[in-house]
């Protein structure tokens, strides 16, 4: 199985380093991506980078998207619904048409890593100081328009693609309650015909805070 790993904002292909051995040992071909860093890049460029990987694979692929990478993989699944076997969302959800990732301060046309104090405590509580420093030092600037670009989705066949949500804190019940407050996000998720929710018991960056456990859960989700 070809598995395409799409990082969240400020991360590159190396953010999957602790995960790839478990997938390759299971016989999968792993494609960890670094998304276009040109300051003029848009969300469409990021989606096209994933689509190019899909088109280069011999068989249907599994897409894995962490955080803001979830928008990217869902856009790619919409572009190639017949070529995607499953989409795995890591502490994020399938976005509805027109959704953006989030808003962050822009400086000189890019979004630099805002520092750990920017994030809610439950998201970062399981990251020790050494890990925080290491990740921050490797952080890459995000093209300024990417986080707020609306994601175009147009092919309802994306709802036929099975979805796994690897959630840091929410289980299926609490996620359903949360979605009830999210409007179009709830509509998007309910339209997907095959979904599952797996609770990791982690913060927002399980690939750093619990790499072995996360890798095992991801390996189980890739099928």
For the stretch 20-69, pLDDT in tens is: 999 999 999 999 999 999 999 999 999 999 999 999 999 999 999 999 99
- Quote the DSSP letter at residue 107: B
d(CA 123, CA 38): 28
d(CA 85, CA 82): 8
CATH 3.40.50.1820 fits 2-221, yes or no: yes
Dihedral sign for Cα atoms in the order 202, 73, 86, 155: positive
* Domain map (residue ranges) of the chain: 2-221
Is-contact 32 18, C-beta < 8 A?
A: no
Would you say residue 122 has pLDDT above 90?
Answer: yes
Would you say residue 180 has pLDDT above 90?
Answer: no
Report the mean per-residue pLDDT for the chain.
97
d(CA 181, CA 171): 16
Nearest-10 Cα torsion for 126, 132, 136, 138: -90
* Joined tokens for residue 16: 């999957």
pLDDT value, residue 91: 98
Reduced to 3 states (helix: H, G, I; strand: E, B; else coil), residue 103 is coil
pLDDT in tens, 55-113: 999 999 999 999 999 999 999 999 999 999 999 999 999 999 999 999 999 999 999 99
d(CA 212, CA 94): 25
């Amino acid at each position: 199985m070809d598995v395409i790993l799409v990082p969240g904002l400020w991360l590159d292909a190396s953010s999957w380093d602790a995960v790839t051995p478990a997938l390759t040992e299971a016989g999968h071909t792993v494609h960890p991506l670094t998304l276009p860093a040109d300051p003029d890049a848009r969300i469409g460029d990021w989606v096209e980078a994933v689509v190019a990987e899909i088109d280069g694979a011999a068989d249907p692929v599994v897409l894995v998207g962490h955080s803001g990478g979830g928008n990217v993989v869902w856009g790619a699944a919409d572009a190639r619904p017949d070529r995607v076997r499953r989409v795995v969302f890591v502490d994020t959800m399938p976005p509805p048409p027109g959704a953006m990732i989030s808003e962050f301060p822009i400086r000189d046309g890019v979004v630099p890593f805002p520092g750990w104090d920017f994030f809610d405590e439950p998201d970062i509580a399981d990251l020790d100081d050494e890990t925080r420093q290491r990740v921050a030092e490797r952080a890459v600037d995000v093209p300024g328009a990417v986080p707020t670009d609306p994601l175009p989705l147009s092919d309802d066949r994306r709802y036929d693609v099975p979805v796994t949500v690897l959630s840091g804190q929410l289980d299926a019940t609490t996620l359903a309650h949360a979605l009830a407050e999210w409007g179009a996000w709830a509509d998007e998720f309910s339209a997907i015909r095959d979904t599952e929710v797996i609770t990791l018991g982690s913060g927002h960056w399980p690939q750093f805070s619990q790499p072995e456990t996360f890798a095992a859960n991801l390996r189980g989700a890739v099928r």
